[in-house]
Amino acid sequence: MPEANLRMTDYGDGITAIDTDLLRPYFDASHLVVENGRAAFIDCGVNDSVPLLLDALVSKNVDPADVDYLLLTHVHLDHAGGAGLLMKSLPNAKAVLHPRGAPHMIDPAKLIKGAQAVYGENEYFRQYGNIEAIPEARVVVAGHGEEFLLGGRVLQSIYTEGHARHHHCFYDAAAAAVFTGDSFGVSYRELDTDKGEFIFPTTTPVHFDPPEAHKAIDTIMGFEPRQLFLTHYSRITELQRLATDLHRRVDDFVKLVTRHADSENRTADVHASMYDYFIHEIREHGFTGGDHAIRDIIGKDVVLNTMGLEFWLDQQH
Ligand SMILES: [Zn+2]
């Protein structure tokens, strides 16, 4: 019996979003692509997500032995934390990784240290548990533009920096889709209104790079996709407008942190300004849930975005 908290959404084209149940409902997605009886996961959440992903296979009538790939957009733990554990249940799957990410899944020691630095040790263990390594023989390092065949369907690795230097997206021509990881920002379904989808960049430490973030948006839009699948959270379709909003908000975030460059209480000031920014923009977007609800939805992002923006600022001269 599938677990009660299995939340899946089918989008056609053999694409299903599976809620990894990290932090809150509809925060973090894994995507399952099924073609001619073969399957691939794109991102996988954390260790606690693994039973849900296996339940999703049951409900899709896919045998774990028929999963050919675990495609990992990057090695941030909300995307790849459960990868080592999941691979143990997928006997024939290869884990496809960016060359800069692969070493950290084969030996996760640095990844764990980095995540503990960002989240603090207690929070880290609560969210991620013990990160398991992926045996090197089961890792495929993807080149830029490299094609992976899934039951005859092509999934293509596309390097996109800006969010992380170890990030790639997967272009799916059959569905006119790109699985964007964190390279096309974050768009929570709770913030959908009559005006449509709301999007903003995720500037998590330690690789945020504004010019590259802009370039990644353009690279993704260059495929003329009909739909994008974000890890946070799943499908968006108003792509021209969202690309414009995302470009503007990358610039807005850079201006926001730069404005507080010489502040004595910089972190607190950036936090406060970012909250004000979000509340203003989300209200303008027609969200009627109130400021408290907005804070609940974007609170974690404000903390991580602030950290990443300050880190970026400190690298500038
Ligand atoms: Zn990330």
pTM value is 0.96
CA dist 84 → 56, 102, 107, 139, 232 (Å): 18, 12, 10, 11, 21
In angstroms, the CA 98 to CA 89 distance is 22
For 160-176, the pLDDT digits (tens) are: 999 999 999 999 999 99
Check residue 177 and give its pLDDT: 98
Check residue 114 and give its pLDDT: 84
* C-alpha 1 – ligand 1 centre gap (Å): 32
Closest CA to 251 of 197, 208, 314: 208
* C-alpha 36 – ligand 1 centre gap (Å): 31
For 180-208, the pLDDT digits (tens) are: 999 999 999 999 999 999 999 999 998 99
Check residue 123 and give its pLDDT: 85
Query: Could you tell me the pLDDT band of residue 247, with boundaries at 50, 70 and 90?
Result: very high
Instruction: Answer whether 148's CB lies under 8 Å from 69's CB.
Output: yes
In angstroms, the CA 301 to CA 299 distance is 5
In angstroms, the CA 21 to CA 56 distance is 13
In angstroms, the CA 16 to CA 41 distance is 10
* C-alpha 300 – ligand 1 centre gap (Å): 13
Check residue 2 and give its pLDDT: 57
* C-alpha 207 – ligand 1 centre gap (Å): 10
The residues facing 193 across adjacent strands are 196
Check residue 1 and give its pLDDT: 54
What is the percent of the chain with per-residue pLDDT over 70, rounded to a whole number?
A: 99
* C-alpha 258 – ligand 1 centre gap (Å): 22
Helix (H) or strand (E) run with residue 112 in it:
helix 109-119
Closest CA to 300 of 30, 64, 78, 38: 78
- Choose the weakest-confidence range: 15-19, 85-89, 118-122: 118-122
Query: For 229-253, what is the mean pLDDT?
Result: 98
Query: Could you tell me the pLDDT band of residue 46, with boundaries at 50, 70 and 90?
Result: very high
* C-alpha 79 – ligand 1 centre gap (Å): 7
